[in-house]
Amino acid sequence: MWENFLVAERMKFNIGRQRIVNRYFWRTYAQQEIDCIEEHNAEISAFEMKWDERRKKKCRRILLMHITPW
């Protein structure tokens, strides 16, 4: 439920800035996953969302890489 809320908020963020992004979800056969992947202007951003009471319910954004198409 938490991840769905954050992805919906991210969608509103992009729409409000008129950014068109391709959005993906990624999971391995070993059940490792990235919660949200966005592709925009040949850059890829990955987001892992966590609920952590000790950090006052902040989500953590992890930028994995920037790539350019070949």
Cβ contact 58:40 at 8 Å: no
At 12, which amino acid appears?
A: K
Confidence of residue 31 (pLDDT cuts 50, 70, 90): confident
Confidence of residue 20 (pLDDT cuts 50, 70, 90): very high
Give ∠ CA 14-16-20 in degrees, rounded to 5. 40
Q: Is 60 exceeded by the pLDDT of residue 66?
A: no
Q: Which residue has the higher pLDDT, 53 or 57?
A: 53
Q: Which residue has the higher pLDDT, 69 or 6?
A: 6
Q: Is 60 exceeded by the pLDDT of residue 43?
A: yes
How is residue 41 written in tokens?
């202007």
What CA–CA distance (Å, rounded) separates 59 from 18? 23
